[in-house]
Chain A
Amino acid sequence: MKTMSFTQAVDDALSQAMAADERIVVFGEDVPLLRRDLLVRFGPKRVRGAPISESAFVGAGVAAAMAGLRPVVELYMVDFLGVCMDALLNHAAKVEAFSGGKWTAPVVVRAPCGGGYGDGGQHEQSLWGWLAHIPGLTVVVPSTPADAGGLMLSALQHDGPVIFLEPKLLSESWLEFLGSGGRRNVQYDVPAKGAKGPVPRRWEPLPFGKAALRREGQDLTIVSVGVGVHRAMEAAGLLQKEGISATVLDLKTLAPLDKAALSEAVARTSSLLVVDEDYEGFGLSGELAAVVLEAGIAFKYARVCTRTTIPYARGMEDQVLPNVERIVTAAKELLA
């Protein structure tokens, strides 16, 4: 088994796919620096920089995909999708439906997401609920290097638009670029197993809509994605010491959602605790409750999510983002 860091795994899977498929091209802001390793292997025709013009280059990525390329369009942060939402909301997501199923836009939009390094509320959002809300978009949020690489490969083979989100807290290179800037005296609460881990010798695609059971327990089911999975695992470890055994389910993709695995895991414990770094209202946490209710399962329910704009101040930020303490407290209250 090899080991890789999170972003290294994404880039490695991407380069494996680029070597096999000439239609894959990569573009976005500062890509010549950020993806320099791809640039020197695949050349400037396939790896290119774009002006700070998200509406133009994301929109162009969608249409280039319709016309035969397989673009990987990279944004600095998912927050900046706010600038060019039209390309995804009204175009990428609609092509297949509008064409009566005869045309699709197989574009991969790659964007770092999430907080935990003090960059403020305009640069640390998750927004996957907002994206998964739109029919026609696939939304991927990996939590380990192995999943990140395998899901990137699937994204590149998928016949429609995929939003591929990389939690910055798991990415050594993003934390270095945006967080520490080379400083050695700043630390973040990085989940070790998410930042670095075993990867296969050769990447194989991992299926969308297939959740992973990270831990099995009898008393409650914690469901999450991305960094939240690791926080949930840590909380489950602490709860175990107090005699509470928790299941932890990692959704890996929000759209499609593994409804069967979700309902099954909740049915077994009759309680659901959602841990979501995205906003609480009208999002993933409420959606999961609805799905399990629709399956006719009776269960107790609680959620630990981000409720407000994410504060810049590190201490306040740690309280606003789902943390282990809040998860443990919510679990105990749920079972009390």
Chain B
Amino acid sequence: MRMSIDHWELYALMLKSRLFEESITQLWQDGLISGEMHLGTGEEAIIAGVVAHLGEHDAMALDHRGTAALLMRGVDPVLILRELLGRTEGLCGGMGGHMHLFSRPHLAASSGIVGAKGPTAAGFALANQYLRPGAVAVAFFGEGAMNQGMLMESLNLAAVWGLPVLFVCKDDGWSITTKSETMTGGDLNDRAMGLGVPGVCIDGREVSAVWEAARQALDHVRSGKGPYFLRARCVHFEGHFLGYQLIRAVRQPVREMPKIAIPLTQSFLRSKGASLPERREGMKKVLAAVLSTLRDERRDPASDPLRRTRQDLTSDLPRLNSLEDNAKSEIATIIALALEDAAS
């Protein structure tokens, strides 16, 4: 809980998370991590800008993308990685995996059920009100989750009970493979306000903007004024999860496009069904998803929160280089430790 912003500290947090998740990507590509793998690459500024303000007893309700938050909160990365590798020595004994990471000492719980972070954060906040006055709860979720009833109900519950909850909406504009704007009525900040929860909408790629907004938001929440809604826009470089079909199609068109295009064309041409204009409308919708992936800001390096923060630190290159070298060797040690154990 710092009073003044420290760009070096925030950059270090983000870089560690980025390098860690890049290693996870490699391990996933190598087939050592099973199932789905949702990364936080692209949203590091949001997580760092919020987590930097958390103190002892503050709780976190995390979504299926919770690795970055746990790492920045101080959970042992070797234990996280062992969990992802499905090791019994992992953070959750190999039972949870990356979508279901739990750390009791940090009051941090994850869930792969969209929207479930609302009720969880409300309950953590309620317990904190009784047992650890002054401590708060933070819910991290995406804008797609804002259409889930339990999250909307939690905003209301937190408002009427005056619970110390910071609702952090990481808005990347995509609900899995669907553009969120096509599935969301009204404005999300208005929606929160309509349920009695004030908030702001900021650029979540700017760590200093997040840090400042989170400072004010947490002041509000800690001072007993009730919940607050912090919406921060970001991108996810890998889409919803690793191996995300639309991004694969764009990155490896020769390999991936025929698998999509051939059955699609056959179906488009089959007799019986809708009129030609209706079929064209359908085809437009499919193509729009691919085209918006081709054009979207996930492919723009300017969307990278680390790159933005780094630019501000190049004035002291020796310090920057040393920070980056240290981060790299720290991550290399973590990976080696986790894998070394796996081999034995």
Contact = CB atoms under 8 A, between A and B. Distances in A.
Interface of A: 15, 18-20, 29-30, 32-34, 36-47, 49-56, 79-80, 82-83, 117-123, 177-183, 185-186, 309, 311-316
Contacts, number: 184
B41 interface: no
Contact of B34 (A20, A41, A117, A122): A117
Contacts of B144: 51-52
* Shortest 7 CB-CB contacts between residues of A and residues of B: A181-B243, A118-B34, A312-B97, A43-B278, A313-B86, A313-B94, A43-B274
Interface in B285-327: 285-286, 289
A311 to B, nearest CB: 5
9 contacts: A15-B267, A32-B177, A49-B178, A83-B113, A118-B35, A122-B111, A177-B245, A179-B35, A185-B31
B175 A120 contact: no
Given A29-B176, A40-B268, A18 B182 contact: no
Interface stretch (B12-20, B49-57, B67-75, B256-264): B256-264
B95 A309 contact: yes
A83 B150 contact: yes
B104 interface: no
A19 B113 CA distance: 35
Which residue, of A32, A46, A55, has the highest number of chain B Cβ atoms within 10 A?
A32
A44 B282 contact: yes
A69 B286 CA distance: 25
B148 interface: yes
Contact of B148 (A52, A177, A181): A52
Contacts of A117: 34-35
Contacts of B34: 117-119, 179, 186, 312, 314
Contacts of B184: 51
A118 B83 CA distance: 12
A118 B31 CA distance: 11
B246 interface: yes
B170 to A, nearest CB: 14
Q: Which of B35, B88, B182, B275 counts the most A-chain CB atoms under 10 A from its CB?
A: B35
Contacts of B87: 313
B149 A55 contact: yes
B238 to A, nearest CB: 10
Nearest to B31: A185
Contacts of B176: 29-30, 52
Given A119-B35, A313-B94, A182 B281 contact: no
Given A119-B36, A312-B100, 11 more contacts: A32-B289, A40-B264, A42-B282, A123-B99, A123-B112, A178-B36, A181-B243, A182-B248, A312-B96, A313-B94, A316-B86
Contact of A37 (B177, B264, B289): B264
- Chain A CB count within 10 A is highest, among B37, B97, B176, B241, for B97
B225 interface: no
Contacts of B149: 53, 55-56, 83
